[in-house]
Structures are given as C-alpha cells and as structure tokens.
Amino acid sequence: MPSDSTTFETLRHALKSALPAPSAQERRIQWVGGGHRIGFARDSKGRLEVFLLGAPLDAREPSVRERLVHDTWNTVGGEQLAATRFRLPDDDHHDAIAATILLELLDKGYEHDRDEAFRLTEPLIALALDSARTENAALTGLAGELLTLASMVRLHPASAQDFLDAWQGWRRSSRDFQLGSTGIEVKTTTTSASRHHIQGWYQVECGVAADGTVETDLHLLSIGIRWLPMDSPGASIESLVKEVSSALPAPRRPGFIGAVRGYGGVGFAIDEDGTAGQVSLRRPFISTYERLYDLRDDRIRLPTAADFARFTDLVSDTVSFEIELHERVRGDRNPVVGLGAALSALLARPG
C-alpha cells in the first residue's frame, strides 16, 4: 500500500471515526492492507490499539516491550485470532501517529516478513510511546500546578498577577511556586499515596530563590488526581487556564498562555483565549486528596546537600530519588489537609 497523503488522510479519518468497543472484552478490529495482518481498534474507553497478527513479537526497546500485550481473541465466526497489541493515548494527534506507524509497517513488508518489518518500525513506535509517556507526566504535573494557581486566585482575586509571578513550575526552576521566602513544590500523582519523584536534593531543601531571596520555609504540596471519562463533571486543564486567564489583565494573558504551552517542553496545543486544541487538555479530573507538608519538620528525613559532600567524585545535583510521605507526620499540623486550608496557611505567612 503506498503511503501517499491521500492514503494517510483516509487512514487517519478511519482511525478518528473508529467506535469504542461495546465492552472491555470485545474489539471492532479494522484491517489495514490486503492481508488482514495489521489492524486497529478502540477499547471500551475509546483508547486506540494497534493489532499485529501472529505469535508474540520480540521488542528490543524497553518502552515498547513493556507496552506489548499478546493474547488470543475469538472472532464472530468462531475462529481464534492471536495478536500482539499496544495502546496509544486517546488524543487527536496520536491518530496521526498511529496512521504513520501502520503505514510504515506495511511499507516495511509486515504482511510478508513480520519480524523484520517490526524490527525496522520499532524505533518509530518507541518514539511515539516515549513521547506519550512524557506528555502524560507533563499533563498530570500541569493539572496539579494549575489547580493550585487557580485556587490561589479564587482566594485572593486581586492578587492574580502576583500569583502568576510566583508560579515558576513552567520554567526550569527548583520551585513550582515562590511566595517571598517560602518555596512550594507541587507534586501530583494518580496514585493514592504521597509518593513522588524528586529530581534532586535541592527540591526538598531550603535554598535561594531566583530573585536572590534566601528561603526560610519549604513546603511540598502533594496532590492526588483521578482522570475521568470525557463529559464527566470536573475540572480540566482548559477550564483552569480560562479561569486564571480571565482573572488577569489582558496584557498578562499571552505570557500565561505561552507558559502553559511550553510546560514540560511538550508544546501543548492551546489557543490565545485558552481553548484547547487537543483532547487531553479538555479531559476532566478530580482531586482525590491534597496534603501540604512542612519539609522543615525533623520527623521528615530526606537527603540534603550535606549528605553528598563526602562523595567527591559525585555530581550531587544529578541524583534523583523517590519519596513516600506518611499521611500523618505530626498530628493535624503536618500535613495540612485540604487545598483550601493549605493555601490559607501559606498565604497567611509573612513574606
């Protein structure tokens, strides 16, 4: 099958038009090419999957290997169909990526030499899956930081510009928010535990702010969120962007939108008025918990710069690690539970 623009657009339209499966155990597979060896379908939640007929495939790339699932399906005709499948994120631009992958598999001869065709196409699949993982992580982080920013604006609308200036998470910074001498790290997860990836000791130790202010306080705001099906009630990145933007003077809005677009280096598609150009920015979510931890509490024990001082051959600020904070550290004082209570406590502090 030639991969000209007409064929690509036809396939992309077919991908976009594919209906979700009626149940989690079913798929409506549509075949690409004449050999019925490569297909695609959407699961019951509307997520796109690529089906590759035959025995299990041997992936070399870790990101591809961990996403491949091999199973056997019963067709409506009573036959059994063995296939390897992998799932792509449910987003408009990933339909185009899926079309490219499908056409590349055909072009490399999957219908005749499946292992070789898969080997040659695997780098493209890995690129798509790696970018999806990066984007998903950025979406979760952005959701938590925008939820925090919007909540600050709701509490004190007249200070919207000051809160925007305090938001540093969209740029390369050791702090997500800097309120004078108080630093705030916002860590967002889709799990039930306050377990978070820390890029380096400097994220959990008081330091010097970008404007030269010496930090006297450092807090970690742990937020749990759950992504919901489309059309469910809840906040979305798009709705939070529009809420914050409407509270800002017109001259400040383009800069804010630009910061959202560039968050995490992803390049999110969002218009000047805050309207999202991709499905993921409109997906609703709810917060499942918010916990504000005072990291100066001596009951919280985390690495500091001094801990690495004796390792003279180690570049200490390149060391990353995972932390898991307890739901209760010191009674009801640490953490402060609930976003309203947490932000009220932070915004009431001097400086």
Of 151 and 135, the structure prediction assigns the larger pLDDT to: 151
8 or 303, higher pLDDT: 303
Q: What SS3 class is residue 9?
A: helix
Secondary structure letter of residue 235 according to DSSP: B
Question: What confidence score (pLDDT) does residue 2 get?
Answer: 39
What integer pLDDT is reported at residue 349 of this predicted model?
Answer: 57
Q: Model confidence at 92, in pLDDT bands (50, 70, 90)? A: low
pLDDT at position 350 over 70: no
Instruction: State how far Cα 90 lies from the chain centre.
Output: 13
Q: In sequence order, what DSSP letters do the residues of 23-84 get, joined into one string?
A: STT----EEESSSS-EEEEE-TT--EEEEEESSPP---SHHHHTT-EEEEEE-TTS-EEEEE
Share of the chain above pLDDT 90, in %: 69
pLDDT tens-place string over residues 182-202: 999 999 999 999 999 999 999
**Residue 18, both tokens:** 């594919």
Lowest mean pLDDT across 141-145, 205-209, 210-214, 313-317: 210-214
Average pLDDT over residues 24-29: 92
CA atoms of 49 and 30, how far apart (whole Å): 11
DSSP 131-155: HHHHHHHHHHHHHHHHHHHHHHHHH
Question: How much is the average pLDDT of 290-316?
Answer: 94
Contact 342, 292 (CB under 8 A): yes
Reported as a single tens digit per residue, the pLDDT across 218-277 is: 999 999 999 998 889 999 999 999 999 999 999 999 999 999 999 988 788 889 999 988
Dist. CA 202–CA 215, nearest whole Å = 12
Of 237, 23, 27, give the one whose Cα is nearest residue 138.
237
> pTM here?
0.73
Nearest to 145 by CA among 259, 39, 40, 246: 259
Burial of 66 (0-12, 13-18, 19+ CB in 10 A): exposed
The two three-digit tokens of residue 274, written as one number: 């805050």
**CA 116 vs CA 60, 113, 124, 135: distances in Å:** 12, 6, 14, 29
Confidence of residue 16 (pLDDT cuts 50, 70, 90): confident
